Structure 1
């Protein structure tokens, strides 16, 4: 059963096209790698599907409801409740501890401080970084920061997790450790994962691959035939 659709999605930045009519469907519980060379539109596609960007044309449909027509506030609420986002550099708040960073999405959604901290500590423990709860990002390695960022993305137990080059700033060993944690938790919870990457090793963790080239789905890409339904 599909949970997320893009239908003819177009997006440009000024006079530069980024997406040229992308159509695809993502099944619930699937882990999908969106691959392609730098500049092919991977990040732009993820940002449109997550409601961070609004397409210039086309539709983005989540659980039978269009989200591209929602207001900025409506799309922000969706990201607080249904979606999780993990960026390449984690984007942790430098002034906050690991536990405070992870608890932040819950606090923004109205959860009480004690409950939010309890949930944050639980997720840090699940991802093997409980001992960092009271440390700030500047006191952590890149891999530790990214696991904390993953905990923050998962603490609201989202239905869909968007990962934009999540290992791009990490060495290969640390990147594989982060991906192993990500895939394990996604499988346990039945979370749908979209993973933008140019790294074949990262794509290997996915159930299937959707290749982009010049802002379009590349029909010659591995596994792409199953992407359009």
Structure 2
């Protein structure tokens, strides 16, 4: 297998007096879809937040393309999340005051893309995820499935090298969840984007190339690669 694109080594993280990670180590390779599974409270979301540079581990190292993220400045981490990282949360976390097209265009605007060009790219991504025609809707006017597709478009619009997806179907019914996962994995494979997928759902994990299980803050087992 290729050299890892993203690596977390011996990661420890506590929330107050409660340990979340107890020495977890994980590797993500270019173009790979990796599912991290485990029960609620096993540390899955904390692992994602450490790997994406959203929080810093108390101990251990995070390395992306040869760069130490656990030592990087907040400005550098913010730059990576605007350009090379895309993040999808369980409930989308769209900005409620913005329309669908403006939510998707926002990362491009923050990166300096001219407004018209950003909107055109945003509309193209909304179309790819099957929500063209919903550009003017605000999050409160969308169904759960529509909002999560808009979130996926926002995460991918910058052409990131890594997408971090934290329970992306957790708030959806089974049909909407299947549609979202199909759209995410198809687009990621087409663009050779690596995906770190956090889930407790075996059906969602089945979309991945590889699955690891987190128990009590440690990667306890690694499943065989999923035949596709």
Same fold (TM over 0.5): yes
Quick check: 1:11 aligned with 2:13?
yes
Aligned equivalent of 1:227: none
- Helix, strand or coil for the counterpart of 1:88? coil
Aligned equivalent of 2:223: 222
Structure 2 distance, partners of 1:32, 1:210, is: 8
Aligned equivalent of 1:151: 153
Q: How far is 1:222 from its partner?
A: 2.6
Deviations 1:86-112 (A, max 9, x none): 000001111111000000011111111
Q: Which runs of 5+ in 1 are unaligned?
A: 225-229
1:190-229 correspondence runs (5 A): 190-219=192-221, 221-223=222-224
Structure 2 distance, partners of 1:170, 1:115, is: 32
1:37-116 correspondence runs (5 A): 37-116=39-118
Deviations 1:102-136 (A, max 9, x none): 00011111111001001100100111101101111
Structure 2 vs 1, CA of residues 223 and 14 (structure 1 numbering), >3 Å: closer, same or farther?
Answer: farther
TM-score for both structures, normalised by structure 1: 0.95
Q: Which runs of 5+ in 2 are unaligned?
A: none
Q: How far is 1:193 from its partner?
A: 0.2
- Helix, strand or coil for the counterpart of 1:84? strand
1:140-179 correspondence runs (5 A): 140-179=142-181
How many residues are aligned here? Answer: 223
Name segments (4+ residues, structure 1) moved above 2 Å. Answer: 221-224
TM-score for both structures, normalised by structure 2: 0.96
Asked if structure 2 preserves the Cα contact closer than 8 Å seen for 1:210 and 1:223, the reply is no
Q: How far is 1:74 from its partner?
A: 1.3
Asked if structure 2 preserves the Cα contact closer than 8 Å seen for 1:35 and 1:42, the reply is yes
Structure 1 distance, partners of 2:197, 2:166, is: 6
Quick check: 1:23 aligned with 2:6?
no
Aligned equivalent of 1:133: 135
Structure 1 distance, partners of 2:100, 2:52, is: 24
Aligned equivalent of 2:184: 182
Q: How far is 1:81 from its partner?
A: 0.8
Structure 2 distance, partners of 1:40, 1:153, is: 25
